[in-house]
Amino acid sequence: MADLTRLHAHEMAALLRSGEVSSRQLTEAHLAVAERQNRALNAWLVIYRADALAQADAADKRIAEARHAGAAALSALHPLCGVPIGLKDLVSVKGGQATAGSKILKGYVAPFDSTVTARLREAGAVILGKTNMDEFAMGSSTEHSAYGPTANPWDLSRVPGGSSGGSAAAVASFHAPVSIGTDTGGSIRQPASLCGIVGLKPTYGRVSRYGIVAFASSLDQIGPFARDSRDAALLLHAVSGRDERDATSAPEPVPPELLGLPADDDEAASYLKGKRIALPREYFVEGMEPGVAARVREAVAAIEQAGARVEEVSLPHTDYGLATYYIIAPAECSSNLARFDGVKYGLNDRSSGEFIEDYLRTRGAGFGPEVKRRIMLGTYALSAGYYDAYYLKAQKVRTLIKSDFDAVWTAGFDAICAPCSPTVAFPMGAKMNDPVSMYLSDACTLPVNMAGLPGMSIPAGLSDGLPVGLQIIGAPWSELSMLRLARGYEAITARATWRDLDPAELTLTDDPNTPSPIERKERLAGASAAGSGGQA
């Protein structure tokens, strides 16, 4: 009770229902930390203090009325009622911004709630604000945000991953117990790995994409960040389910058991006994850091020692995942981003008075270099004479990637365990001038999106003092089984020393003299320019 921000969401839920704490207390505590530390982290693009406190008061009233009505009414409340949460800044919140990390949407005010937002409001969650992200979710480091990079609380000179780096950093820094991200090629799992938290990408169609700014429509999926599997399950439960406004939303029922992952470690660990786990050799990619590979193999060994059966398998088309993704995703982004023209909303440059000239000026000024790169790649892949050679062929390879996974499920495996990121968090600026190197950051996560499968990253220890994530991949609609497996691993490693560690440089974020990520970026740019001048 000394620090309310250190509680897990499920702990907050119990205290709220007993009346030991109020949602306003929880919200004020999280707002204070987020506002104080955000200069050094740049995890939040906007914090809605007044709105958040109003939502907290409404949640307190709702809980009080349920308590007065009796135990049945109290238990009928969603566990997230009164719990603070952060949203990635591509989720529409009526009356709020949704920049998608881009200048082209600066000043845009969403006229409606996304389905995710509406379901969180229905649950009674308290929306604290919107988190930083790579522009239009294109990036693996959050350095492509038009509003400056986000820092990793484990090392402020390093990236938190991306594109959902702000959501991951906010949870890792105790600014919110849970947050929402999106995952198109690893944008939940990779930042979760680099920040040492849990991140889950659900099966494609599990969560409605209505009201989410689109990047690649056949790949995007919304999912939770949390500090443990129980909280991730609560948030997944709140936002999942069929939505008539999203044609890709599936009618698959939401498992009620998501609300009841075992609290007891012995019960949780018992789930691992007899489970059959696949370990794909192709995921230990060339260039993977030895410390990362070691932590992942140690985690798998611990699961095996707890009673699971681990067998090495081959997913032979994995090596084609990166190339296939970077044809399909840019092609879809080229189509989706055509709507941002300055005519109806967002940035518009009408200085020339000529429609086509203004259109080109608006997009030229509004989009950053990575977004332009992918629009050009996608437009090329879809152009006459190249559609069959690139896009159509990539879709055929995508089917082969999916068939590799199907063979694993047909063989009777319960899940796949693999590395999530080939490296720990890398220094800011290290990969900005090498797009291919940046793209390789997602080599272990992209195939899951290509196949539409659920995947998650859970903390698996440290390498050189920085977090390493274990990736769990499941069959379609197997999120509950994955979360039970993750909860089992948490139980068997509950006494590991690394589980009690705070992010190493989190205390520096309280120092007003600590450079902001934007200042760090400017210094890096200055040093790079000086170095280039010296060589010339």
Q: For this structure, is 92 an active site residue?
A: no
Question: 332 CB contacts (<8 Å, ≥6 apart)?
Answer: 215, 216, 217, 218, 219, 378
Q: For this structure, is 88 an active site residue?
A: yes
From the candidates 22, 23, 88, 179, give the one annotated as an active-site residue: 88
Mean per-residue pLDDT over the chain, rounded: 95
Domains of the chain: 4-262+277-320+398-510 (3.90.1300.10)
CB 30 within 8 A of CB 128: yes
CB 102 within 8 A of CB 136: yes
The dihedral over CA atoms of 365, 369, 371, 376, expressed in degrees to the nearest 10, equals 100
Please give the average pLDDT of every successive group of 10 residues along the chain, which has 536 residues. Answer: 89 97 98 98 98 98 97 97 98 98 96 98 98 98 98 98 98 98 98 98 98 97 98 98 97 97 98 98 92 98 98 96 95 95 87 86 95 96 89 96 98 98 96 87 95 98 98 98 98 97 97 95 79 55
| pLDDT for residue 532 | 61
pLDDT tens digits, 368-405: 999 999 999 999 999 988 889 999 999 999 999 999 99
**How many C-alpha atoms does 323 have within 13 Å on its Cβ side?**
9
CB 91 within 8 A of CB 117: yes
| pLDDT for residue 533 | 63
pLDDT tens digits, 275-334: 999 999 999 988 899 999 999 999 999 999 999 999 999 999 999 999 999 999 999 999
| pLDDT for residue 465 | 98
pLDDT tens digits, 430-453: 999 888 888 888 999 999 999 999
From the candidates 22, 102, 145, 163, give the one annotated as an active-site residue: 163
Q: For this structure, is 163 an active site residue?
A: yes
| pLDDT for residue 210 | 98
From the candidates 114, 140, 173, 187, give the one annotated as an active-site residue: 187
DSSP per-residue codes, 394-454: HHHHHHHHHHHHHHHHHTT-SEEEEES-SSSPPBTTSSTT-HHHHHGGGTTTHHHHHHT--
Place of tokens 């590991």: 496
CA gap 266, 249 in Å, rounded:
36
